[in-house]
Structures are given as structure tokens and as C-alpha cells.
Amino acid sequence: MASPVPELAPRLAEALIAFRESGVCSTDAEIVWLAELRYACDHPRDGSVPWLMGAPLSFSGIQWYPMHRLAESWFVRAMTLLDGDERLQTAAYLYAHAVSAPGDRSAQGLTSERDIRVNLDEWYESLPIHEDADQMAALCDSLRRLDGDVDMVPDIEERESEPVEDNPQRFVTTICQAFPGIPPSYWLTELPAHEVRAMIAAVSEGSGDWATSAARTTAIGNWLKAVKWVWKNHE
């Protein structure tokens, strides 16, 4: 009877052979990590729906939505105004998800630093959530995944982070040009921001070929950086 063990992905097998030939003894954790990252490079989405677009996460009686573009833009500005206040920055992150239901424009009414601080402080205090570090970290991690954020492998060499630029006008202009006839308000509050960006990318790429897609390019970049990290770990 043939073994049911599947073959390794060719690129993964090549990397492991290269490690062995160079005297690098990869740990179990490193091999599993590399295998997971390589899988993302070689397997497109199969058409299944792992999560309905825009569906919220329910926790502590609150519906947490993936950030729509209006809330995302507000959040970027709030983070700048609240620089140095980690508690309220966490509150801003949570609040942006709580007011991202389709059509919700609540964030539009909070513009000044004073209003943001006062309202966020009251809202955060009223949450039925313990300010436990592990619980908060788990919730924020779930919300990050809800926003479609990918676990990025860090670069080997540290680079200075560039300031985040937020230009909602350019965002709306681009998407309205790609899909004429739909009002700007739809793109700002009716869909998760990361889904709209995926739509823009699909239009820009044209063919819709997964092999040359931005998602696969990101996955391959992650894989290559991970291979470098394993080399570095055993220098």
C-alpha cells in the first residue's frame, strides 16, 4: 500500500536539501513555518467562502466589523492625535471596528482631539471587557485578521518605518474611476476597506490570473524572507 504522506512542495524540498547540504539543522518549528508560508505561494483560493464579506465578529455583546474606509481614515488620524497614549490608541482601534457597520458614519462626528479623547474615554470605560492584556491582544489579533491583514515576515535588516499616508480622496477617486456610476458614499461605508482595495487590485491586474496576483507576490516575498531567517538563525 502506497504511503498516504503527501510530497513536499518542490521549492520547500529544495530549501530543506540546501539547508542540510550546508549543515543547517532546521528546527521542527522552522520547517512547519516554512511549509505554511510555501502553501500560500502554491495554492490559490479554491472559491470557498471562509467568511462572508463584511460579516462582524461578536464578542462581549458587541458586533465588531472589518473597518470600512471612513472608519479607517478616522483611525489613522486619531492614532496621530493620540500619539503616546497607548490606552486611547487601543480604544481608537476598537472603536473604529465598532462603528464600521455598513452605512455607519459615527466616526465622521469626531474630529477634534478633545472630542476624540473625551468620547473614546467614556466609550472605552463602558465596554463590558476586562482590560486584561492577553484578552485585549487576542481580540485585537482577531480584528486584524477580520481586516484581512496578512502576517508579514519581517525583513532581516531593520528599516526605518515610513510615515503612514492616508488620502481618502485619492482612494475614492480611484475606485469611482474603476467602477463608474456608484456613489462615493458606497465605497466609504458599505464595504470593508480591504475588500475594496482587493477590487482595485483586481481591476489593475486585468487578467485576474492568480499566478501573477498581488496576493501571490506577497506570499512569495514572505516565503523568501522566511528562508533567509532560517539561514540567519543557524549562522
- Minimal CA–CA distance to 57: which of 115, 144, 123? 144
Q: Is the separation of the CB atoms in 219 and 39 below 8 Å? A: no
Amino acid at 178: A
pLDDT at 32: 94
Cα Rg, the chain, nearest whole Å? 21
pLDDT along the chain (235 residues), means of 10: 83 92 93 91 64 76 92 94 94 96 92 94 89 83 85 77 62 81 87 82 62 74 90 89
Instruction: Kindly state the cell numbers that stand for 56.
Output: 462582524
- The residue ranges of every structural domain in the chain are 10-43+208-235, 57-146
Instruction: Kindly state the cell numbers that stand for 189.
Output: 461605508
pLDDT at 5: 86
- Report the SS3 class of residue 73: helix
Q: Is the separation of the CB atoms in 87 and 120 below 8 Å? A: no
User: What is the Cα 233 distance to its own chain's centre?
Assistant: 27
pLDDT at 198: 77
pLDDT at 192: 86
- Report the SS3 class of residue 60: coil
CA–CA dist 235, 229 (Å, integer): 10
